[in-house]
Amino acid sequence: MSIPEISPKGVEIMPPLVVVVGPTAVGKTALAIELCQRYRGEIVSADSRQIYRGMDIGTAKPTPAEQSAARHHLIDIIEPDQTLGVAEYQSRAYAAIEDVLRRGRIPFLVGGSGQYVHAVVKGWKVPRVPPDYQLRAELEAEARNLGAQALHSRLATLDPQAAARIDHRNVRRVIRALEVCLKTGKPISAQQSAQPPPYRILQIGLTMPRAQLYARIDARVDRMMAEGLLDEVRRLVAQGYSLNLPAMSGLGYRQLGEYLAGRISLEEAVRRIKKETRRFVRQQYNWFRLDDPLIHWVDVSGADAFERVSQLIESFLRGDI
Residues carrying CATH 3.40.50.300, the chain: 5-126+194-318
Res. 173 pLDDT band, cuts 50 70 90: confident
CA distance 240 to 257: 13
**pLDDT for residue 9 is more than 60:** no
Percent of the chain with pLDDT over 70: 95
pLDDT at site 80: 98
**pLDDT for residue 191 is more than 90:** no
Helical axes 171-184 vs 148-158, angle rounded to 10°: 40
73 in Cβ contact with 96 (< 8 Å): yes
13 in Cβ contact with 103 (< 8 Å): no
Architecture of domain 5-126+194-318: 3-Layer(aba) Sandwich (3.40)
pLDDT at site 2: 52
242 in Cβ contact with 50 (< 8 Å): no
- Residues 6 or more apart from 142 whose CB is under 8 A from it? 150, 151, 154
Residues carrying CATH 1.10.20.140, the chain: 133-191
Comparing 131-140, 209-218, 252-261, 263-272, which segment has the lowest mean pLDDT?
Answer: 131-140
Question: End-to-end alpha-carbon separation of the chain, Å?
Answer: 23
Strand 193-194 versus strand 124-125 pairing type: antiparallel
CATH for 133-191 is 1.10.20.140
67 in Cβ contact with 95 (< 8 Å): no
Is residue 310 classed exposed, middle or buried when 0-12, 13-18 and 19+ CB atoms within 10 A define those classes? middle
Res. 253 pLDDT band, cuts 50 70 90: very high
